[in-house]
Copies of this chain bind each other. A is one copy, B any other.
Amino acid sequence: MKFSVTVTLKKDVLDPQGKVVHNTLTNLGIDNLKSIRQGKFFEIEVNETDQNKAEDKVKEMCEKLLVNLIIEDFQINKLQ
């Protein structure tokens, strides 16, 4: 069973990397850009046929390693 996980910085957390990307895009001549924030993306495949169990597994991975819960939020989506 395949899942995607997107990890984003919480709203009030500064995103210096996104800021640099924003400036660079502006310097490249792209206008009309209002904001850009960068996050992480994972594609995770689990050997588990039960969807709830599989999702719990992915959640456990996020909480144990992939996500810094103090400054980041995450969202799990089933693929296909």
Contacts and interface: CB of A to CB of B under 8 A. Distances in A.
Interface of A: 4, 6-8, 18, 21, 24-25, 28, 30, 32-48, 57, 60-61, 64-66
Nearest to A9: B43
Copies of this subunit: 2
A32 B61 CA distance: 11
Contacts of A64: 25, 28, 30
A6 B25 CA distance: 17
B41 A41 contact: yes
12 contacts: A18-B42, A21-B42, A25-B65, A28-B64, A32-B48, A33-B57, A35-B45, A36-B42, A36-B43, A36-B44, A39-B40, A40-B40
Contact of A47 (B34, B39, B48): B34
